[in-house]
Amino acid sequence: MPRHFLRKLELFTRLSAADRQALEGVVGEKLRRVGPREDIVREGDSASHVSLILDGWACRYKQLEDGRRQIVAFFLPGDLCDTFIDVLREMDQSIGTLTPVTFAEISRDTLGAVAARHPRIMQALWWDTLVSASIQREWTVNLGQRSATERLGHLLCEVFIRLQGVGLTEGDHCVLPTTQADLADAMGLSTVHINRTLQELRGSGLIVLKGRNLTIPDLAALQAASLFTPNYLHLDHVGRHLDAVEPLAV
Amino acid sequence: MPRHFLRKLELFTRLSAADRQALEGVVGEKLRRVGPREDIVREGDSASHVSLILDGWACRYKQLEDGRRQIVAFFLPGDLCDTFIDVLREMDQSIGTLTPVTFAEISRDTLGAVAARHPRIMQALWWDTLVSASIQREWTVNLGQRSATERLGHLLCEVFIRLQGVGLTEGDHCVLPTTQADLADAMGLSTVHINRTLQELRGSGLIVLKGRNLTIPDLAALQAASLFTPNYLHLDHVGRHLDAVEPLAV
DNA sequence: GCTACGAATTAACACACGTGAATTTCTCGA
DNA sequence: TCGAGAAATTCACGTGTGTTAATTCGTAGC
């Protein structure tokens, strides 16, 4: 069931059959399905649950008092939403869906128990968390320094490579189910300018975007044009770096 | 010695005398002192060390190929630099000083051992990590949605309150040892525009900035003008939220 | 196949912010 | 006290991106 998630974790470590089985059990517990543009629950119980996206796209966002919205992270299939982190009191940031989404609501107790019995899972979860933090920092760079074209190109590279990591690309194309307004909120640009920028990327042949279908004919070229380097996604880890990544006293 | 650090952790939990003593021992191990505008070491040994800022300001930044620099985080006295996180291979992001800095280089083994024997320290370290992540997300919002004035005002609110948390403010003023160029790199603005924006904040009486001395006569007013809400700093936690924050299977 | 509504696209105009460069002010060591 | 370099400030001008609003396109429902 959580094949994207498993596939992602295996980018980093090798899971045993028992590991995989344990994770599948956990995911089966409580499945939820919601439509597009809905908020995934986060009050009260939020501290006790983690959400694992099985299908569809979601995002973490913050809404300012005057209505401006900033998307600070995209959640793709296989991503864990650490909803539990800071929603303790004020829940300043929310998690909402962009498309219809199927996700598993996992109680932290359950996940904690599994992780305790399966060290590799624990390590993989850690890796995932650290990568998410790294992505967050890269978004800061993206918003702070890159021009609209670079910025959007950078995002498309990231999304494509992340989707690739969970087996959701085919050759040089993938889906891009977001609205241009969603992209605008993520990039800190207006929808009009997102549109202009997409045209520009299309015009220079760096992307082909028809409806929800995105094709990147020459990923290396798009990367170069966007000053994108994939290192921050840390896909180059394979097992032996485990010890270096493992956090304090597990 | 690590009084700022201890003070910060105690914002969140109550440490015993033994806890404090353990931390002080750890910090004494290896002190380092570097000048302004230097990089704090991060190769090879970086994965095995954590740096604790004792005095001075540092930052995490990324430099693009063409020279543009984005500061993605400020490290103030009492802050832990989780250098160990992603500098494993490519070390895409660096940590550098803004002023002369004194810091303790703590081996992760040592810190891990201490944390294992002192659960409250472990929890406090966790809290600190989660707050850092929350701040990072807020920076994304800041760069994406806020105007230059709001953005800079927001940063000043954040810095002031963080300094307050470690006892480095006096009444309504504190130091701001950064260069306008540093602020520019952090805010994704040009130095010229930082200057203009500072003038504007001065003009409206929201700040008084003379040399390195920053006064905020009416913090609430500055907060309002900057759409700042302190909730993301999670200073409202006191002990009893521990269980909710404690991460997976420690 | 037609309707209706959201999404994408386009256009005209405004302005926040960037750029380059000169000038002034600070800082601090000799 | 002076001088030199760094930081701050100011100016003139250019431009990337925002805003508003109209138009076209796509698509789901009837």
**pLDDT for residue B243 is more than 70:** no
Residues 169-188 in A having a C-beta less than 7 A from any atom of strand C are 179-181
Is A160 in the same domain as A201?
Answer: yes
Domain end point (choices A107, A138, A169): A138
The residue among B154, B178, B171, B167 whose CA lies nearest residue B233 is B154
| Mutation target vs B (from A81, A83, A135, A141; most B CBs, 10 A cutoff) | A141
CB contacts of A88 in chain B (<8 Å) are 234, 237, 241, 244-245
Output the pLDDT for position A248. 45
Give the confidence band of B68 by pLDDT, cuts at 50, 70, 90: very high
Percent of chain A scoring above 90 in pLDDT = 72
**pLDDT for residue B248 is more than 60:** no
Output the pLDDT for position B90. 59
The backbone torsions φ and ψ at residue B75, rounded to the nearest 5 degrees and listed phi first, read -110, 120
Output the pLDDT for position A129. 87
Q: Is A238 part of the contact surface with chain B (CB cutoff 8 Å)? A: no
**pLDDT for residue A92 is more than 80:** no
Q: Is A225 part of the contact surface with chain B (CB cutoff 8 Å)? A: no
Is B122 in the same domain as B176?
Answer: no
Whether residue B232 is contained in a domain is answered as no
Whether residue B88 is contained in a domain is answered as yes
Q: What is the mean pLDDT of chain B?
A: 89
**Burial of residue A132, with CB atoms counted within 10 A of its CB: 0-12 exposed, 13-18 middle, 19 or more buried:** middle
Percent of chain B scoring above 90 in pLDDT = 73
Output the pLDDT for position A244. 41
Top-confidence residue, A93 or B101: B101
The residue among A110, A121, A162 whose CA lies nearest residue A246 is A121
Which residues span the domain enclosing A25? 3-138
Give the confidence band of B89 by pLDDT, cuts at 50, 70, 90: low
* A191 strand C contact, CB < 7 Å: yes
Residue partners of A46: CB distance under 8 A and separation at least 6: A83, A84, A87, A91
Output the pLDDT for position B84. 57
Tokens describing residue B13: 């939990």
Output the pLDDT for position A44. 45
Shortest Cα distance, chain A CAs vs residue B59, angstroms: 13
Distance CA A178, CA B36 (A): 44
Is B65 in the same domain as B163?
Answer: no
Distance CA A164, CA A184 (A): 23
Sheet with strand B80-81: strands edge to edge:
B31-34, B101-107, B49-55, B80-81
Provide mean pLDDT across the span B166-181. Answer: 97
Top-confidence residue, A247 or A161: A161
**pLDDT for residue B246 is more than 50:** no
Is B92 in the same domain as B28?
Answer: yes
Domain end point (choices B97, B117, B138): B138
Output the pLDDT for position B109. 86
The backbone torsions φ and ψ at residue A52, rounded to the nearest 5 degrees and listed phi first, read -115, 115
Is A47 in the same domain as A29?
Answer: yes
Domain end point (choices B96, B119, B138): B138
CB A2 within 8 A of CB A54: yes
Give the confidence band of A243 by pLDDT, cuts at 50, 70, 90: very low
Provide mean pLDDT across the span B152-181. Answer: 97
Of the listed ranges A49-58, A68-77, A160-169, B91-100, the least confidently predicted one is B91-100
Is B186 in the same domain as B103?
Answer: no
Provide mean pLDDT across the span A183-187. Answer: 98
Output the pLDDT for position B82. 77
Provide mean pLDDT across the span B47-51. Answer: 80
**pLDDT for residue A150 is more than 80:** yes
Q: Is B3 part of the contact surface with chain A (CB cutoff 8 Å)? A: no
Output the pLDDT for position B126. 83
Distance CA B204, CA B217 (A): 11
Q: Do A140 and B64 touch (CB under 8 A)?
A: no
**pLDDT for residue A147 is more than 50:** yes
* B147 strand D contact, CB < 7 Å: no
Is B167 in the same domain as B46?
Answer: no
Q: What is the DSSP letter of A175?
A: E
Whether residue A19 is contained in a domain is answered as yes
* B198 strand D contact, CB < 7 Å: yes
Whether residue B250 is contained in a domain is answered as no
Q: For the beta carbon of residue B109, count every other beta carbon within 10 angstroms.
A: 12
Q: Do B249 and A125 touch (CB under 8 A)?
A: no
Shortest Cα distance, chain A CAs vs residue B102, angstroms: 23
* B181 strand D contact, CB < 7 Å: yes
Percent of chain B scoring above 70 in pLDDT = 88
Q: Compare CB distances from B130 to A86, A140, A241 and report the shortest one's residue.
A: A86
CB A174 within 8 A of CB A160: yes
Output the pLDDT for position A239. 45
**pLDDT for residue A250 is more than 50:** no
Strand partners, A132: none
Residue partners of A189: CB distance under 8 A and separation at least 6: A148, A151, A152, A183, A197
Is B180 in the same domain as B70?
Answer: no
**Residues of B (54-93) whose Cβ lies below 8 Å from A:** 60, 62, 64-66, 68-70, 72-73, 84-86, 88-90, 92-93
Whether residue A235 is contained in a domain is answered as no
Across chain A, the runs of DSSP E, i.e. the strands, are 31-34, 49-55, 58-63, 69-75, 80-81, 94-97, 101-107, 173-175, 208-210, 213-215
Output the pLDDT for position B107. 87
